């Protein structure tokens, strides 16, 4: 396992120098955040990003993410040109030695929460998803001011985009994902890059939009449609764990045993009701997910890829990007490293 940490570039108050001081962290998970969605990333920009990361004494472990343009998800005529651009980005990242690309196929809204700074009894704040609150929101009216979606949309453009999905069923969206995979996975294979799709977050429909990457069967369908070592998943314990029907250990076993588990987000959440949860500390005792069992399953199934603490509370008065403060994620990385070290030594000793 390679402990990694999310970094949002030069504007991120959590600097590479601070990240380097977290014990056990060797990799950076980042992206080019100033490239418009749909445009190919230039080799020069990728090289500059890699050089910046490596100059800090860390390695560029994962690109998260190369966003998929809505026209591809909608199956519009422009998708072939956009997929060509996407393929060129994969080739350029492969030439730069980037091993993993994390991406998603969520319509319109990326990961979504109903509150950014929910107060917890200990004085920290956290991200929450409350189903009733989300149901009352109207994105067209501008009710949203949340992470996980493009705030550059105007009211009219948001209405047009949501209207465009009215006739897009889950099967239509799946067909468009299959079309995309059939074209990019051979490119990734040739480039030596592993594509790791991120599960829908949350793993169910929001605002009436279809979502198709939320459980074992759906993940199996997409990885088996183009059966290649390059076509794998990002295991996200928080996203998948939000649905109590998901067996996280079975998901790890299935994809780990097939070498299709390329990246891991280990986030803990506390389920607070039907389709509702709040993000907790990484400790097993604080959430609904047994993080010790999750990491043990990853170890048992031979996971040796990048893993990062995913989201964190805002603690000790820290200000900044909700879910991406330094302190709680650093504590999470140290906790996860401790679990991994204990499991590794215990398993080795038992084997001996």
- In the prediction, which pLDDT does 158 show? 84
SS3 68: coil
Q: Any catalytic annotation for residue 310?
A: yes
pLDDT at position 164 is 95
What pLDDT, on the 0 to 100 scale, is given for residue 352? 46
Q: Output the pLDDT for position 154.
A: 76
pLDDT band at 22 (very low <50, low <70, confident <90, very high): very high
Confidence of residue 146 (pLDDT cuts 50, 70, 90): low
Question: Residues 103, 153, 165, 324: which is the catalytic one?
Answer: 324
Of 113-117, 157-161, 188-192, 300-304, which range is least confident?
A: 157-161
Strand order across the beta sheet in which 125-129 lies: 115-119, 125-129, 276-279, 269-273
From 265, 282, 328, 335, the catalytic residue: 265
| CA 138 vs CA 60, 135, 145, 168, 196: distances in Å | 38, 8, 11, 19, 31
Per-residue pLDDT reduced to its tens digit, 187-213: 999 999 999 999 999 999 999 999 999
Q: Which of 198, 254, 262, 282 is catalytic?
A: 198
Task: Classify residue 292 as left (phi > 0), alpha (psi -120 to 50) or beta.
Answer: alpha
Q: How many residues can be counted in the chain?
A: 352
Specify whether 254 is catalytic: no
Q: Please identify which of the residues 282, 310, 328, 335 carries the catalytic annotation.
A: 310
**CA 11, CA 23: separation in Å to the nearest integer?**
23
Closest CA to 111 of 261, 317, 269: 269
First to last CA, the chain: 21
Tell me how far CA of residue 245 lies from CA of 174, 200, 214, 269, 337, in angstroms: 21, 15, 11, 15, 28
Among the listed ranges 39-43, 87-91, 152-156, which one has the minimum average pLDDT value? Answer: 152-156
| Phi and psi torsions of 3, nearest 5° | -70, 125
324 is catalytic: yes
On average, the pLDDT of the chain sits at: 95
How far apart are the C-alpha atoms of 157 and 143, rounded to whole Å?
15
Whether 236 is catalytic: yes
Catalytic residue among 118, 194, 201, 236: 236
Q: Please report the domains of the chain, with CATH numbers, ordered by start residue.
A: 2-106+168-270+282-351 (3.20.20.150)
Catalytic-role residue among 254, 282, 311, 328: 311
Q: Could you read off the pLDDT of 304-344 as tens digits, one per residue?
A: 999 999 999 999 999 999 999 999 999 999 999 999 999 99
Give yes or no: 102 in active site. Answer: no
């Amino acid at each position: 396992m390679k402990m990694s940490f999310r970094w949002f570039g030069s504007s991120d108050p959590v600097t590479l120098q601070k990240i380097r001081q977290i014990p056990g962290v060797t990799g950076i998970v980042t992206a080019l955040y100033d490239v418009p969605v749909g445009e190919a990333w230039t080799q020069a920009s990728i090289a500059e990003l890699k050089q910046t990361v490596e100059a800090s004494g860390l390695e560029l472990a994962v690109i998260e993410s190369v966003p998929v343009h809505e026209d591809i998800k909608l199956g519009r005529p422009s998708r072939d040109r956009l997929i060509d651009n996407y393929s060129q980005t994969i080739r350029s990242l492969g030439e730069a030695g980037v091993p993993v690309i994390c991406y998603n196929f969520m319509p319109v809204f990326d990961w979504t929460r109903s509150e950014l700074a929910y107060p917890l009894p200990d004085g920290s704040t956290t991200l929450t998803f409350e189903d009733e609150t989300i149901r009352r929101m109207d994105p067209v009216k501008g009710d949203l001011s949340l992470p996980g979606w493009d705030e550059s949309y105007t009211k009219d453009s948001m209405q047009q985009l949501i209207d465009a999905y009215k006739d897009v069923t889950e099967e239509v969206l799946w067909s468009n994902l299959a079309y995309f995979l059939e074209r990019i996975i051979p490119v990734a294979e040739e480039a030596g890059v592993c594509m790791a799709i991120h599960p829908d977050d949350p793993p169910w429909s929001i605002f009436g939009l279809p979502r198709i990457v939320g459980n074992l069967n759906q993940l199996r369908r997409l990885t088996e449609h183009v059966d290649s070592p390059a076509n794998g998943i990002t295991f996200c314990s928080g996203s998948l764990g939000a649905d109590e029907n998901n067996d996280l250990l079975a998901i790890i076993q299935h994809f780990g045993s097939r070498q299709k588990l390329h990246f891991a987000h280990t986030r803990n959440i506390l389920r607070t009701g039907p389709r509702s949860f709040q993000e907790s500390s990484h400790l097993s005792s604080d959430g609904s997910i047994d993080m010790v069992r999750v990491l043990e399953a990853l170890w048992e199934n031979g996971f040796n890829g990048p893993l990062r603490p995913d989201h964190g509370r805002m603690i000790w008065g820290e200000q900044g990007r909700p879910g991406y403060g330094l302190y709680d994620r650093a504590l999470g990385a140290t906790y996860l490293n401790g679990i991994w070290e204990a499991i590794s030594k215990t398993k080795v000793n038992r084997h001996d």
